[in-house]
Structure 1
Amino acid sequence: MVFLNWFGRVLFGCCAIAAAWSVWYVIYLQSHAAIAEGEKPKPEQVIAVEVVAAQQDMIEERIELVGNLLPVAQTEIRSRVDGYIVELPFDVGDRVSSSQTLCRIDDSGQLEALDKAKATLKAAEAQLRVQESQYRFTQKSVEREERLASRGAGTDEQLETAYSNNEIALAQVELEQARVAEAKADVNVLEIGLEDFSLSTPISGYVASRMVDIGDLAKPDVPLMQIVDLETVKTTVNIIEKDYQKVAVGQAAMVTVDAYPERTFVGEVKRISPVLDQDTRTVSAQIEIKNQDSLLKPGMYARVSLNSEKVKSSVIVPLSAVLEINGRQAVYLVDAAGKTELRQVRLGSSDGLVTEVLEGVEAGENVITLGNRLVKPGQLVNAEQQQQPWGLDERALSSGMEPSAAPIGDPAGDLVTDPPIDPTADSAPLAGE
């Protein structure tokens, strides 16, 4: 009986093991079959993109530059003397003129010295009058002795004494005259120095900063206020060597700032450096902009567009079609079968909306303007044809400026650097290499 129980347990265990092995084997066969068959390839995804046909059209050559706005005139107010500030009638943002007093320093010590100098002058003038009276007396003595000597009533010794006294009196007069002149000079110096205690500005403008308060000690080496003239602002831009001959003094410049993106300010090239920087191979040019509404502030980041006044016919494509891949500029084209091609291009001039293509694209070829960052070479796409962005004058007017004079942004800002392209495209050479 014990044997039968033991045998039944063994038989049951063997059956359980066999059943588990059978289930595992079935699962193994199914997975092996699935691996052998392989996964079914997913259908290729067709991406919708917008394309524009490259055109032979007119393009205006513009030079896009950047710089910081600065005031044409600015000054720091400093004291020539040491003293405590007793009056500051203006603060930051106030408008001031050259006739107004911006800061007054305690001048009580200077006034006291001036009063003392004036008193010394009066004493010197009184002493001068005494010596002049003495001189006139000695002159009369000389005349009297000369008459007596001519009659034989006087002696030579008396006459010589009269001459000597007269010369001494004259010297005393000259000495007192010098003392009076010295006292007058001291008074003048103190009166002029009194002006140093009342500070004004050599230019009219606005208080840009005030570094002191009433009661502070003013010193010659410490700036008190900064005044800026905002009627005209300037910016200095760096022009690369190849564009040097395209810029001239008097040339119009269009300036935009981030604070007023819808407005364009007209400037003028005032100065161009005659030499190039040896390190950057650029030349600096100074552009002045009238600022009648005082909207432009020093320190603003300015985008400058210079019109080279050269209009030419070229193959053009929208800037939105241009990508920058591994430091090279390229565009995606779509052929008649709807397949994409990544092609390297060499660009020329740009007006902010379209760019000239010197090599890589022919007129009539379709370039992708929307969706070019989502495709890869050889991919099938659903291309929707769009129109090229207008003609030359329409492109200028679209920015709210006169034709042939309108900057339309920074072309560099429209280029896409290192777009997320499929890794398989990295090994594929660009067409045209």
Structure 2
Amino acid sequence: MSRLIKTVLLLLVLALVAWLGWRVYRTVKAKSQQPRGRPPVVIPVEVTPPGRATLRDVAVFTGSLVGKSRLTIAPRVGGRLEKLLVDVGDPVRRGDLVAQVDDEEFAQQVERAKAELAVARASVQECAANLNAVRREFDRIQTLREKQIASESEHDQVQAQLEVQQARCQVAEAQVVQKAAALKEAEIRLSYTRIHAVWEGGDETRFVGERFADQAALLTANTPVLSLLDISTLTAVVYAIERDYARIQAGQSVTVTTDAYPGRTFEGRVTRIAPQLQETSRQARVEVDIENPGLALKPGMFVRAAIEFEARADVWTVPVSALARRNGQQGVFVVDADGRNVHYVALELGVSEGDLIEVIRPVPDGPVVVMGQHLLDDGMTVRVVAPESPAAAGAGGDPAGAAAAGGAPGGMR
């Protein structure tokens, strides 16, 4: 029995020694296959020091220009368009004749009304003569009646004739008034054939924006012929999202630019804000009135309207390109004082303008990585390289020198 136990124990010891030898062999072999003296991973990066600048909180809205007012010119009577005296782009002064409809029919109506008025006036004269004759006959019969020569029936008959003639004269005089009114109406309709540009208020001169009809076209009453635009002041119609809507107020100054005039700005002011947002786009209509000196701007142009909500003077900034998100927070990678390692700093950010963003707290205590940060983690080793473009050369180079140039504080805040 003891011999059997010894045999089992010997086998177990041999198996344990064999397993340990196999593990040692695998470990030695794995180490022998690794390259000797492999250096740690070094990430090349570009850096720049934090700086100080004045940033403006500016929102830019896009939209189109419309005329301050738009007047549609249309005839008040139908007919053939005989003359069209202006065309697209022509200036028109208040009261100018711009078109004329064929007036032959209306001129004939005026002549007929004049003739009818003349007939009515002649009827009045005839009636007055007849009335005088009947009145004299009535006076004669009245005298004979007083002398008991004329009978009562003769007197009544002449009196009735007098009353009838007086009524006829009243009708004739009323017809004169009626025919005079008809003549006035015909003259007014004739004047409608001459189409004048008439408007209330605004500038004395407007411009033809569109032509809707050609000469010799057959028009009906109120058919549009021309549109006149007042472009001395234009309105930029833009739309604001919910985030900016609450910050926009009537009277705010607006700087307007357009691709038609690169580098040139126009000044405007917010005049109207819609009291509601559109459900489909969640945007609200905002109107900006813009003075148009020299009439350079035209309705329909695409514009950008910039509204400044806040200006932050002399604040700490870093480039927007330096930002990296780690663990759900925005921050930057800062190069350590030795220039070899980086550490991640989460930042509280403020206003951004262009390629700079405000750092509220803490201010980085060294140069920040602006290229290559997407490859970094906290504590990694880096190698600072100079930027490729000459314009950015001052931001690269030696990290210690960059930190000195940036004037960053010695610690975090």
- 2:63 corresponds in structure 1 to 67
Show the 5 A alignment for 1:254-403: 254-308=255-309, 311=312, 316-319=317-320, 333-336=333-336, 337=339, 348-352=350-354, 354-356=356-358, 362-364=363-365, 366-367=367-368, 371=371, 376-378=375-377, 380=382, 382=384
> 1:266: Cα distance to partner?
0.9
- 2:188 corresponds in structure 1 to 192
The answer to whether the Cα contact below 8 Å between 1:54 and 1:362 also exists between their aligned partners in 2 is no
> 1:70: Cα distance to partner?
0.6
- 1:82 corresponds in structure 2 to 78
- 1:163 corresponds in structure 2 to 159
- 1:393 corresponds in structure 2 to none
- 2:131 corresponds in structure 1 to 135
SS at match of 1:293: helix
Once the two structures are superposed, what CA deviation does each residue of 1:21-74 show, in whole Å capped at 9, x if it has no partner?
xxxxxxxxxxxxxxx999xx999796563534165x654433322221111011
CA separation in 2, counterparts of 1:188 and 1:301?
50
- 2:3 corresponds in structure 1 to none
Counterpart check, 1:97 vs 2:98: no
> 1:168: Cα distance to partner?
1.2
CA separation in 2, counterparts of 1:135 and 1:160?
16
Give the aligned length: 345
SS at match of 2:184: helix
Q: For the structure 1 residues 90 and 54, does the alpha-carbon distance in structure 2 shift closer, same or farther, using more than 3 Å as the test?
A: same
Q: For the structure 1 residues 312 and 246, does the alpha-carbon distance in structure 2 shift closer, same or farther, using more than 3 Å as the test?
A: farther
The answer to whether the Cα contact below 8 Å between 2:82 and 2:102 also exists between their aligned partners in 1 is yes
When the two chains are superposed, the root-mean-square deviation of aligned CA atoms in Å is 3.8
Q: Identify the match of residue 46 of structure 2 among 44, 49, 57.
A: 49
Counterpart residue type for residue 227 of structure 2: Q
The answer to whether the Cα contact below 8 Å between 1:65 and 1:239 also exists between their aligned partners in 2 is yes
CA separation in 1, counterparts of 2:120 and 2:39?
114
The answer to whether the Cα contact below 8 Å between 2:77 and 2:222 also exists between their aligned partners in 1 is no
Q: Identify the match of residue 145 of structure 1 among 141, 147, 160.
A: 141
Once the two structures are superposed, what CA deviation does each residue of 1:58-106 show, in whole Å capped at 9, x if it has no partner?
5443332222111101122222333222222222221111222111121
> 1:255: Cα distance to partner?
1.0
The answer to whether the Cα contact below 8 Å between 2:58 and 2:309 also exists between their aligned partners in 1 is yes
Once the two structures are superposed, what CA deviation does each residue of 1:187-216 show, in whole Å capped at 9, x if it has no partner?
111211122222222353111222332222
> 1:159: Cα distance to partner?
2.3
The answer to whether the Cα contact below 8 Å between 1:329 and 1:346 also exists between their aligned partners in 2 is no
Counterpart check, 1:154 vs 2:160: no
Counterpart residue type for residue 165 of structure 2: A
Q: For the structure 1 residues 353 and 376, does the alpha-carbon distance in structure 2 shift closer, same or farther, using more than 3 Å as the test?
A: closer
More displaced stretch, 160-169 vs 279-288: 279-288
More displaced stretch, 251-260 vs 300-309: 300-309
More displaced stretch, 269-278 vs 95-104: 269-278
User: Identity of aligned pairs, percent?
Assistant: 24
Counterpart check, 1:236 vs 2:237: yes
- Give the TM-score taking structure 1 as reference length: 0.67
Show the 5 A alignment for 1:215-226: 215-220=216-221, 222-226=223-227
Counterpart residue type for residue 335 of structure 1: V
